[in-house]
Amino acid sequence: MQYCTFNCASGRRGIISAETAIVRIFDTAYGAGGGVGRLESGKTVFVPYTVTGDAVEIEIASEKKSFCFGRLLRVITPSPFRVEADCPYFTICGGCFYRHIDYVYQLEIKRNILKHFLKLKDIQTISGEADFSRLRCTMRAHEGRIGFYKLNSRELVPITSCKMLTPSLFNALIAFAAGDGFNRCSFCISALETPRGILAEVKGGSLPFPKSCAPFEGIKVHRQLKGNPSKFRGVALGKQALAYPLKYGDVSASFGSFFQANRSLLETFQEAASKSAYGNIVELYAGSGFFTSALQRLGKLTAVEADKTAAELGRQSGFPIETGDALSFLKKIRTHAADTIFLDPPRRGLEREVLTEIVRINPKHIIYVSCDPATLARDAAILLEKGWRISGASLIDLFPHTQHIESITFLDRD
């Protein structure tokens, strides 16, 4: 199986060729490569927007020594897993990548990729609503139009509809981009929707400072300083944080703080990730308390978060979150003093020193939430070498119609 990790953009530095070929797609690569085929020469070719079972005509877009990238020209024989994409911007806008694939088979693709990386025979699959589920996003705007960058480019694709985002979030972003003052600017906007309103953060060059936060509950604008493009001046209006009510307690978010993106799976995610925690529980990368709220009911919990704003929001919600880095926090914990260690690191995974400390502490149970199966597999391999075993794993599909894979892995030792 061709579960390679790569960046399509890097392939563009290869040799551009007008060569065309007809290939049959037999697999799906991890990342933004799409379907996997093989040229007559035997060289592997990665073709975005294809799926296993397709027979396609492609143009060779770039070449490397042992593989190449193809550009889809036409589908000769469609795969049984191919469906008609239900978005006019698909393949133009970089927001979705799998919208041409039947959703049940999308889950199968992601499940097989995760099984391959973790060397497991089976994993659980957790999914929710496939459309209009995203409550958090980052978009770009230019002169009143808003959208996403084209795949692997800095070219803005303006859109007037989006099946990923909740309609209320998308409509608010459209209205803001077209509003007075900002409709003459270029900027990046990140927004999070809660049942209590939307928070938005805007960053760009010659931006006006808003007179109100409408249509949001709170807004923060970072304006680039003249003569010093690396520095910004920020102004905030309205509410600085909003609490998201969830089963195990309200979890607050502020400008720039992280929050899970799929509204239909928030409480399901909390429950699935935390349910096996017990005893003395240590949580790393706690954010403002999304998982902390569920973990604290299961044992004696201590948690840490490096971002000062997020940690303070968590403490204001009543969660035991310290401010600090994971490594320093772990160094204060005695060997065998933790029964469960709960991890939700950034995409780059765990630092080697953090893993060393986890091994020293020697917890009986580790729960690892990951958004990148490659770094997860790297870290899990070290823990397996040190005596832990994978007792289970779950794919949780937070990002339908995209190549992104979120997972929960459970490790135990006797």
Contact 236, 216 (CB under 8 A): no
Q: Tokens for 123, please give them.
A: 């994993």
Question: pLDDT digits over 159-180, tens only?
Answer: 999 999 999 999 999 999 999 8
Residue 30: what are its φ and ψ, rounded to 5°?
-80, 135
Res 153: pLDDT: 87
- Which amino acid, residue 200? A
Write out the chain's pLDDT in tens, 414 residues.
444 433 333 333 333 345 899 999 999 999 888 999 999 999 999 999 999 999 999 999 999 989 999 999 999 999 999 999 999 999 999 899 999 999 999 999 999 999 999 999 999 999 999 999 999 999 999 999 999 999 888 899 999 999 999 999 999 999 999 998 899 999 999 999 999 999 999 999 888 888 899 999 999 999 877 767 667 778 899 999 999 999 999 999 998 788 999 999 999 999 999 999 999 999 999 999 999 999 999 999 999 999 999 999 999 999 999 999 999 999 999 999 999 999 999 999 999 999 999 999 999 999 999 999 999 999 999 999 999 999 999 999 999 999 999 999 999 998
Contact (CB, 8 A) for 340 and 366: yes
Q: What confidence score (pLDDT) does residue 341 get?
A: 98
Residues with Cβ within 8 Å of 381's Cβ and at least 6 positions away in sequence, in order, are: none
Q: Chain-centre distance of CA 178, in angstroms?
A: 28
How does DSSP classify residue 67? Answer: E
CB neighbours of 68 closer than 8 A, spacing ≥ 6? 11, 14, 39, 43, 44, 45, 46, 60, 61, 62
- H helices present in 5-97, as ranges: 8-11
Which pLDDT tens digit goes with each residue over 254-277? 987 889 999 999 999 999 999 999
β 340-343/365-370 pair status: parallel
Distance CA 56, CA 54 (A): 6
- Which domains are assigned to the chain? 8-82 (2.40.50.140), 124-128+262-412 (3.40.50.150), 136-241 (2.40.50.1070)
Using CA atoms of 409, 4, 78, 128 in order, give the dihedral in degrees to the nearest 10: 20
The pLDDT assigned to 231 comes to 73
Contact yes or no for 367/94 (Cβ under 8 A): no
Q: What pLDDT is stored for residue 256 in this prediction?
A: 75
How far apart are alpha carbons 78 and 84 in whole angstroms?
A: 11
- Chain centre to alpha carbon of residue 258: 11
Give helix then strand counts, H and E, for the chain: 9, 23
Q: Exposed, middle or buried, 297 (CB in 10 Å: 0-12/13-18/19+)? A: exposed
CB neighbours of residue 401 within 10 Å: 24
Q: SS3 of 334, please?
A: coil
Give the distance, in angstroms, between the CA of residue 36 and the centroid of all CA atoms in the same chain: 23
